[in-house]
Chains A and B, each alone.
Chain A
Amino acid sequence: MNFEAITEAIPSYFAGVSVTLQLLCVALLFGLALAIPLGVARASNNRWLSWPVWAYTYVMRGTPMLVQLFLIYYGMAQFDAVRDSALWPWFSSAWFCAMLTFTLNTSAYTAEIIAGAMRAIPAGEVEAARSLGLSGWRVLTRIVLPSSMRRALPAYSNEVIMMLHGTSLASTVTLVDLTGAAREMNARTYLPFEAFVTAGIFYLALTFMLVSLFHFAEKRWLRHLAPRSQTVLQPIAIAS
């Protein structure tokens, strides 16, 4: 291990962490904003609402995010209509394309998580709200959503970790995120072990930070569900 080379490259890794976190935060924020209405539609009994969302999540979850990223970043340039439009400055930017891809991708996974949590809501909670005379909208916004968003927390934490790892794809479209910083160091010094192990350690640290953040959130918001089962949360498990 050439520690001198690692120390020299550390500033570029921190710059990479900042890019990774920016991509992650934007994608999660907009992805969640999209996923809530999509999840509600997906869990709806109205077929005309749930079916299109099913199709959307099926396609987004059934294809690799790398394909989605290349479709948006390289694919859009195929159409003169896009190239000549006011949108072109956006679609020619790797930043915008990466953020758009990650946002759409996480919105599909998150919509399924929210819909699953909504379906699992005890019927009694909804019936109790109805019997108190709450309107459908109020039952949704006051009872169903707050309760199911909490229940969705453990699955959502997995999705966030998957997304953190997914942002590494940004390095394939010229962005210098954490993985990009490692690839640059490898290209410059030809020290692949040093370059990628360092990136791995940074990712591990970020993963642990996110896991403990969610652990904290679950302790706070899922306390009412805690005492019956003292299950210890798995640090990272794949999103179901």
Chain B
Amino acid sequence: MKKILGLLSVLVLGVVLIACKSETGTKGESTIKVYTRDTTSGTREAFFSGIDFDAATGENTPLVTGYVEVDGNGTMMSSLKNDINGIGYISLSGLAESGLTGLSFGGVAPTEANVLNDTYGLKRPFMYMTRETYASADEAALMEAFLAFMGTKEGIAAIQSEGGIVQSSATDPSWDSIKANYPVTAKDNSAITLKFGGSTSVEKVSKALTTAFAPLAGNVKVEHSHTGSGDAWKRTQGSEKDGANALHMGFLSRDIKSTEIHAANTSGRICFDAVVVVVNKENKLVTNLTALQIKGIYDGTFKVWNDVK
């Protein structure tokens, strides 16, 4: 009996040691593990067109075998945190808190300044799309107020609080100065629920906007269900606009496509953002990659970290 207990405790100790084994950094001979977003993601489109790999924007077949597909900006971050050999791409707004290392793109560091002065190559807009018609006049009025709110000091501050890149100036109106134009916001709107969705990269910015807007609009209720840029148009003016997943406003992390036919004045840009190529913090082998190198990693030309460091 004692022998068994001894054996077992050694086993358990071994298991615990293995689990707590600290990573000692990426090795050059390790295979690069490629992470990508799914095909409805606006971030994916911005990424692959930015590195000139258009064949992969809608299809996974051009990618190297063994790619891992994740379905959200945050999932990409948490997956890469656990994989020292991984490489992926996220929205710049999330870089600071992701715990990952952002790589320079063609020598330009991924910072807000570089996006604003147009030197960083993977810039992309955060867009919104609303509906043509709403279920009630109040809902339509509230959405109008929300659109106006996005241009006020409070709205811009909310966008910036989540890393959205937008120029703010002293001439931005405050909400108080324009709220008289939107009398619906003075009523109690807690019986109305506004639904927001679309891109997961824009999720944090959109949540900050609704968080700031709701108390100023009669405590209107808001719901967020972000499933990818592809659903923004689909659920406001496309095939699902009247179904169970219908949205009041959808967000996109890319430009609106020509196939997404929408009514006038129902779309616009909120702010700018950029796509950043990221690796695990323990990966000290790369700090800067060119578009060609990134494309080579994703299509399998470069297989191990030594090929690109």
A binds B: no
Q: Which residues of B contact A (CB under 8 A)?
A: none
